[in-house]
Every structure is written in C-alpha cells, then in structure tokens.
Amino acid sequence: MNKITAAITAVGAYVPDFVLSNQILETMVDTNDEWITSRTGIKERRILKDADKGTSYLAIKAAEDLITKANINPLEIDLVLMATATPDMQVSATGAYVASQIGATNAFAYDLQAACSSFLYGMSTAAAYIESGRYKKVLLIGADKMSSIVDYTDRTTCIIFGDGAGAVLFEPNHEGLGLQDEYLRSDGVGRDFLKIDAGGSLHPTTIQTIEEKRHSIRQDGKTVFKYAVTNMADASEQILKRNNLTNEDVSFLVPHQANKRIIDATASRMNLEESKVLMNIEKYGNTTSATLPLVLNDFEHLFKKGDTIIFAAFGGGFTWGSIYLKWAYNKQ
C-alpha cells in the first residue's frame, strides 16, 4: 500500500467588513500612512466591530465558506483543530464550540496556541493525525480577533494587527502529495518580548492589572524583529537544504504576514523572485493564526497540482518554523 500523506484538499476564509485604514489610525494615535507602510507594508486591516462576537464567529464563517465551496458533509469531519491566540474564553475550548456550530458533531475538537505559529504547528498536528491512518478528514482553522487584545492608544502595536480567519481541510493522499517535511522550533527566551502580561495564572486579573493596561498585547519591537528575521529565514533555508531543493524548485513561498521587511528577508535568503512570494499583508495586517490560510485562500487560483509550496512563520514564545508541502489539486 502506498504511504499515506496529508494533503490540503480545500480552503475557506472570512474577514470582517470594517476596514481600519492607516488614515483612520492617523486620527487615533500619533502616526501616519507613510511611516506605517514603509516599516510594515500594511495599508489596512479588518476589524470585527460587534462587541458580542468573538474569535469563534470568525472561525465559523471561514469553516462554512470551506464547507460550501468544497461541498462536504460536516458530519464526515473527524477532527476540528482550532489554531488561535484569542479564544472566546478561558477553559472552554473555542474549537469545541465551533465544531458544534458548523454541524461537525461527529468530530472531536480542541484549541492549539503557539501565537503567530499556531496555524503552522496546526498543519503538523493535522498531518500527523491523517498519516496515522486513524482519521480521514481534519479541519484546521486559524482565527484571531486581535482587536480584542490590542490597546488602541499604543501606536507600536495597534498599527500591526487585524481580525480574520482561514480554514483548510486535510485528507489522505496516496500520490505523494501534501505535507512532505517540517522544521519546527521554539525558544523560551522570547517569553518576555511578546506577550500579554496579565490574565493568566502568573498574574491573575486584579483592579491594578486592568488599570495598568496589562491585558493588552505588548512587544519589544526591535528584539522581536531581529529574532523573526533571523529564524524565519533560517527555517526556510533549512527546509530547502534538508530536501535538496533549490529556489528553482519552489513554486511559492507562503509566509506569515507580520511585516513586509521580514517577508522580504526570508525571500532574499531563499533567493526567490518576487512573483513567488505571496503577500496580502497590505489588506489585512497581521491576523496572527489566520495569516497563512488567508494567503492560501487569496492565491488558491494560482496553485497547480504538484506545486512545491514553502510555509514559514514566527510567533511569540518564541515559536517558529517552516513546512514543505506539495499542492494536491487544481482549482475548478
């Protein structure tokens, strides 16, 4: 019997309607369009304005988009993996709620959190379940309502993040397509450089933590940028070397959309031409767990069966890595 590999067979996505442009941000904090664009590549980001809707809403919409486009029965889904850094609430798994809401009542579900690397790690997890032969359909969703943890008086972070969700379906493949290799890493040295300080078990919520705005995301921008540039590029280079791939072999790079300069550095290290580097950061900003599937959804029309696609991401913790995947279908 041929070896089972885990292939992406469908994609879906959702972004909210409200567009938070650089021009609007100029009225909120001391910044301007030229400064934001030159340093990040971001022009606008989508924001879920409804106060009564959380990350689950985004995830459900993305999953429903995939289910509709792929014409699959939700009852056939075996597992729902929810990659997110902004679950609806603590303890109660957002993934379990999402699975129930989309009708995947035969599936088990749970959340996976590795900051901006959540979806990348989720790809590895989904593939392992498929390759084991135990499950046939694994739905991986990357979704974050980053606006729920951003301080819109902090100009260093509010310009970066947006809300959104994307989903992919992993299924068994016997043609050698799908996930080929992974190079995943982490280093706890990053714990203090990109975080939400309060609200966890180390610093539980108090009146003081709220007054001090310790429940919003903070980062040491220069340190995070330095680590991200080095490690995302290194991981991508390592995955090529390990698989004896050259820049000519790579069809597309699907990088985490955090900062255009980080993406450019990674592409340069891989010696890739611009047309192979997929970016939509100017439209959505950094949607954390949703960036990779949003890129897949936006550029799905370009992919051909057998294409070599390299994924790369870097996130808080620190977490980072790269995945080598062969695309499994042509879009109808």
CA-nearest of 315, 320, 318, 319 to 116 is: 315
For residue 268, count CB atoms less than 10 angstroms from its CB and return exposed for 0-12, middle for 13-18, buried for 19 or more.
exposed
For residue 209, count CB atoms less than 10 angstroms from its CB and return exposed for 0-12, middle for 13-18, buried for 19 or more.
middle
Q: Are 325 and 311 in contact (CB under 8 A)?
A: yes
Q: Are 33 and 149 in contact (CB under 8 A)?
A: no
Q: At what angle do helices 260-269 and 33-40 cross, to 10 degrees?
A: 30
CA-nearest of 198, 204, 212, 264 to 233 is: 264
**Buried b vs exposed e over 188-197: b needs ≥16 C-beta within 10 Å?**
eebeebbbbb
Q: Any bridge partners for residue 250, and if so which?
A: none
Task: Give the active site residues.
Answer: 116, 256, 286
